[in-house]
Chains A and B, each alone.
Chain A
Amino acid sequence: EDQVTQSPEALRLQEGESSSLNCSYTVSGLRGLFWYRQDPGKGPEFLFTLYSAGEEKEKERLKATLTKKESFLHITAPKPEDSATYLCAVQANSGYALNFGKGTSLLVTP
């Protein structure tokens, strides 16, 4: 059975304090790994798709990386507006469904 585990559940950073969020996964053949950002009261917003081990993608202060067992979302010099819940999801070769982790709630304080 496909499983996605995100850690930590919650993370509090000071503005400018870089850190990483982890997404560990088990899937029978990875088709794609997706990162989303979710603000309170809103739907998830797409950030990145990663397809194969070694792949990296960047957007502003965010950088996503992928290995065969996990993905990291690195946040460099975060700002308060980066505060949100970050969700990781995997899609297996065998189906259409995205299997989501429970998310990491990030709070960046000034």
Chain B
Amino acid sequence: NAGVTQTPKFQVLKTGQSMTLQCAQDMNHEYMSWYRQDPGMGLRLIHYSVGAGITDQGEVPNGYNVSRSTTEDFPLRLLSAAPSQTSVYFCASSRTSYNSPLHFGNGTRLTVT
């Protein structure tokens, strides 16, 4: 099993550009989520999904969209990149939406200039 795979590993965008961060898991996990990690802030939840076709907002959803058309994939879309979105983004999945440990990908480091 590959676990949780995130692509790309690194990305540089200009302000106003859009892009999609990809996330795929091969563990048949029900729950998937996106976090951002900033120095001194800890991990903060952006969006999550409890199953295919179901998504909801986390703590910091503004400027991001998600969809979950399959169990395996959970892409994160930046609609119009801003310097405040410079961060490391982690995708995570778990077997169920509660009491199951999250399995994290290795992150995408995004810089917006």
Contact = CB atoms under 8 A, between A and B. Distances in A.
Interface of B: 4, 31, 33, 35, 40-45, 48, 50, 58-59, 90, 92, 97-99, 101-107
A28 to B, nearest CB: 15
A56 to B, nearest CB: 17
In the complex, which range does the number of interface residues on chain A fall in?
A: 20 to 34
Contacts, number: 55
A43 B50 contact: no
Contact of B99 (A32, A87, A100, A102): A32
A41 B106 contact: yes
B91 to A, nearest CB: 8
Nearest to B56: A96
A43 B92 contact: yes
Nearest to A31: B98
A23 to B, nearest CB: 12
A44 B104 contact: yes
A102 B106 contact: no
A46 B107 contact: no
A49 interface: yes
Given A31-B98, A100-B43, A43 B48 contact: no
